[in-house]
Amino acid sequence: MSMPSDTDRKPALFGSGDTGFDVNRIKADFPILRQKVNGHRLVYLDSAASSQKPQAVIDALDRYYSQINANIHRGLHTLSEKATAAYENTREHSARFIGGVKPEEIIFTNGATEAINLVASSWGGQNIGEGDEIVITEMEHHANLVPWVILAQRKKAVVKRIPLTPDGQLDLTDIENIVTPRTKLVAVGHMSNVLGTINPVQRLAELAHKNGALILADGAQAAPHMPVDVKQLGVDFYTFSAHKMLGPTGVGVLWARQELLEAMPPYNTGGEMIREVSFETVTWADVPHKFEAGTPNIAGVVAFHEALSYLEAIGMDKIREHAIALTGYAIDSLLKLDRLEIQGPLDPTLRGGAISFTDADIHPHDLSTFLDSRGIAIRAGHHCAQPLMRALGKVATARASLYVYNDEADIDALVDAIKQVRSYFGV
Amino acid sequence: MNDILDEMYRDIILDHYRSPRGKKLIDHADISSTGQNPSCGDEIAMQVTLDDGTVKDIHVGCTGCAISVASGSMLAEFVKGKSFEEVKKVAEVVKKMLKGEEIPDSDELGDIDALKGVRQFPVRIKCALLAWMTLIEGIQNFEKQKKAGPETVTTTEEDEQNAATDQ
């Protein structure tokens, strides 16, 4: 009953039985990277914003629509059964991917942002009251900040933040006074989208639980780049996003412990999430369906399975090793440039490959526009982390972010172009 | 090789960026106005001294990219001695120019004409507009408050700026 698929087909990087990390073979699996941009080879260094997709994922979308498209969980016909099986297959796969949790604990959303909003609205609406405290960090992405600020306003609760050390790690010196028995939730990014910092989620989870609080980790940046085991981390909620990890846009995942999900009220209501409906009463379906009202992004979820397979075929440990090596190379290369400053830890073992930097003389937007003219895609701006920008004393930074298809040649292209930008602007 | 890029970063623009006009602080401000581009963090603050309904002197302080700094510098150079009506008129011309609309004979624009190249970079149009929108907002608030009494007004104009560039 599974969808017709070449799921078992190995990605091209294993084409000759090689199990090593071969960036050139990986690059070849990403058709978008073959193009020229503004006359230059595309050097894509914006994967922290959204990753590119391998052919296997693109093919899976095509296969879904050309062979099994139908609505899920309701049709009593062959296509609906195939579509449902493929959709549920990704749920099982996602559960395995984050350390072997129960598939019922995986909720599909339209993105990591919605996953966090679901928790804030449903769990927060039920469990946060006046005077309660929600602890976040100074480096949070707006997605893991605004929902808590809004919830706190609505409930007259208090948002406290964990400050940063000068090198962009969490400053835990005063943590015992920040996470206290008044804390109801700690919400922390597993890996910063600006600083690259990998946060000590496990330690914060222990501290939260000691104080009777729960902990949510936003894994949007971590899940694509390192092995994640939510049970080992000890978190209660974990969220991530398919499009940052080779999958389609419009698919996010919320994992939470089953008993939490069972106690939480629905977030959206409508079709699919009910058990029985009359004009007087509604009873809800069991988890996870209680949280998946309406027709979801079926094609995206189905194709996400291929993205996870692709990552696993390389190996998350290998992906992390590659990230450490390439991040180290990038940091060393960038620091050789004069008047260039990197935000966040410089030790690549403490961080991921989102590297924010500022040039003392060139505004990030001018830099980004110039690099684009050389085919190099980076991000410039506040990266949806305005409180962090204020803490760093910057209005904006440039950010190059790395992934499995990047190599030292990409870093060299970036560094060469930055060298040219100064003479271009005559500073 | 850098055709489009050179269209935006013309020599005149880079000259204004490297040595912005209107940097000198002024003693007395009849109008103070500040503006930000929230998406890129550019910030601008300006003070204007008036003399019989025309701009006598202006200070422009801009933290931002080459385009926003150069545009602010061109504005500072252009508006001295101009009436509010003349300033508003040229601000409209700058807006149209950046939207790619036809504009009348551009002789009187002088350096400002060089901002044309920005229109090929849609995300940068708001950079070029920041100074102009900030000054217009300041003038409009000054005119409003003049009817009501007080001489000096302060304003921020993010919303106006966004409205102008979202189109």
Q: What tokens were used for A384?
A: 């949806």
Cα separation of A271 and A289, whole Å? 10
Mind listing the pLDDT tens digit for each residue in B11-35? 999 999 999 999 888 888 999 999 9
Question: So what's the pLDDT on residue A395?
Answer: 83
Domain count for chain B:
1
Q: How many CB atoms lie within 10 A of CB A94?
A: 25
**Residue B30 placed within a domain:** yes
**Residue B156 placed within a domain:** no
Asked whether the bond before A200 is cis by omega within 30 degrees of 0, the reply is: no
Pairing of strands A106-109, A43-44: unpaired
Cα separation of B106 and B125, whole Å? 19
Q: Which of A353, A344, A331, A399 is nearest to A165 (CA)?
A: A344
Q: Average per-residue pLDDT in chain B? A: 85
Considering only CB atoms, which chain A residues are within 8 Å of B8?
A: 369
Secondary structure (3-state) at A237? strand
Cα separation of B62 and B44, whole Å? 4
Q: CA A27, A32, A33 angle in degrees (round to 5)?
A: 40
* CB A274 within 8 Å of CB A282: yes
Question: So what's the pLDDT on residue B106?
Answer: 64
ipTM above 0.85, yes or no: no
Question: So what's the pLDDT on residue B154?
Answer: 54
Beta bridge partners of A107: A254
Question: So what's the pLDDT on residue A176?
Answer: 96
**Residue B88 placed within a domain:** yes
Q: Which of A68, A17, A8 is nearest to A305 (CA)?
A: A8
Contact B40 A365 (CB under 8 A): yes
**Residue A5 CB contacts under 8 Å (≥ 6 apart), including other chains:** A60, A63, A86
Contact B9 A363 (CB under 8 A): no
Q: Which residues of chain A have a Cβ shorter than 8 Å from any chain B Cβ?
A: 38-39, 363-366, 369-370, 373, 380-382, 389, 394-396, 424-427
Question: So what's the pLDDT on residue A397?
Answer: 93
Cα separation of A218 and A240, whole Å? 7
**Residue B163 placed within a domain:** no
* CA distance readout (Å), B136 to B35, B109, B113, B131, B142: 11, 17, 19, 9, 10
Residue with tokens 């990753």: A51
Q: What tokens were used for A349?
A: 């073992």
Question: So what's the pLDDT on residue A274?
Answer: 78
Cα separation of A379 and B144, whole Å? 40
* CB A179 within 8 Å of CB A206: no
**Residue B167 placed within a domain:** no
Q: What tokens were used for A2?
A: 């599974």
Q: What tokens were used for B70?
A: 């150069």
Q: What tokens were used for A66?
A: 């050309």
Considering only CB atoms, which chain A residues are within 8 Å of B14?
A: 425-426
Contact A395 B8 (CB under 8 A): no
Residue A262, sorted as left (phi over 0), alpha (psi -120 to 50) or beta, turns out to be alpha
Contact A395 B5 (CB under 8 A): no
> What DSSP line would sit under A48-91, residue for residue?
TT-----HHHHHHHHHIIIII---SSS--SHHHHHHHHHHHHHH
Measure CB to CB from residue A373 to each of B2, B14, B124 and give the nearest one.
Answer: B2
Q: Which of B104, B96, B70, B88 is nearest to B136 (CA)?
A: B88
Q: Which of A340, A391, A383 is nearest to A362 (CA)?
A: A340
Q: Whole-model pTM?
A: 0.89
Question: So what's the pLDDT on residue A7?
Answer: 43
Q: CA A121, A127, A129 angle in degrees (round to 5)?
A: 100
Cα separation of A45 and B14, whole Å? 27
Confidence of residue B151 (pLDDT cuts 50, 70, 90): low
Q: What tokens were used for A92?
A: 């099982």
Residue A104, sorted as left (phi over 0), alpha (psi -120 to 50) or beta, turns out to be alpha
Contact B67 A366 (CB under 8 A): yes
For chain A, which domains are there?
40-48+315-425 (3.90.1150.10), 68-311 (3.40.640.10)
Contact A366 B18 (CB under 8 A): no
Considering only CB atoms, which chain A residues are within 8 Å of B65?
A: 363-366
With 50 as the cut, is the pLDDT of residue B167 above it?
no
Secondary structure (3-state) at A405? coil
- Chain A closest-CA separation from residue B34 CA (Å): 16
Name the residue range of residue B96's domain.
3-146
Q: Which residues of A are catalytic?
A: 384
* CB A374 within 8 Å of CB A330: no
Is B82 exposed, middle or buried (CB count within 10 Å of its CB: 0-12, 13-18, 19+)? middle
* CB A255 within 8 Å of CB A105: yes
Q: Which of A414, A24, A47, A32 is nearest to A224 (CA)?
A: A47
Contact B41 A369 (CB under 8 A): no
Which B residues in the span 32-91 are in contact with A, Cβ-Cβ below 8 Å? 39-43, 63-67
- Chain B closest-CA separation from residue A419 CA (Å): 16
* CB A363 within 8 Å of CB A341: no
Q: Kindly state the DSSP code that residue A182 receives in the 8-state scheme.
A: T
**Residue B152 placed within a domain:** no
Secondary structure (3-state) at A134? strand
With 90 as the cut, is the pLDDT of residue B148 above it?
no
Mind listing the pLDDT tens digit for each residue in A82-94? 999 999 999 999 9
Q: Where are the alpha helices (DSSP H) in B37-167?
A: 66-79, 84-99, 125-148, 158-165
Question: So what's the pLDDT on residue B107?
Answer: 72
Question: So what's the pLDDT on residue B51?
Answer: 92
Low-confidence ranges of chain A (pLDDT < 70): 1-20
Considering only CB atoms, which chain A residues are within 8 Å of B64?
A: 363, 395
Residue with tokens 């989102």: A354
With 70 as the cut, is the pLDDT of residue B162 above it?
no
Contact B41 A382 (CB under 8 A): yes
Beta bridge partners of A398: A357, A380
* CB B31 within 8 Å of CB B150: no
- Chain B closest-CA separation from residue A44 CA (Å): 19
With 70 as the cut, is the pLDDT of residue B124 above it?
yes
Q: Which of A363, A389, A390 to mutate to test the interface with B (most CBs of B within 10 A)?
A: A363
* CA distance readout (Å), B151 to A110, B87, B141, B145: 52, 19, 10, 7
**Residue A60 CB contacts under 8 Å (≥ 6 apart), including other chains:** A5, A302, A303, A305, A306
Task: Give me the half-sphere count of Cα atoms (radius 13 Å) on the Cβ side of residue A288.
Answer: 23
Considering only CB atoms, which chain B residues are within 8 Å of A380?
A: 40
**Residue B121 placed within a domain:** yes
Mind listing the pLDDT tens digit for each residue in A358-388? 999 899 999 999 999 999 999 998 888 888 9
Residue B32 sits at φ, ψ, to 5 deg, of -120, 135
Q: Is the dihedral of CA A339, A340, A341, A346 positive or negative?
A: negative
Cα separation of A164 and A75, whole Å? 52
Question: So what's the pLDDT on residue A75?
Answer: 76
Q: Which of B6, B7, B9 to mutate to test the interface with A (most CBs of A within 10 A)?
A: B9
CATH of the domain at B36: 3.90.1010.10
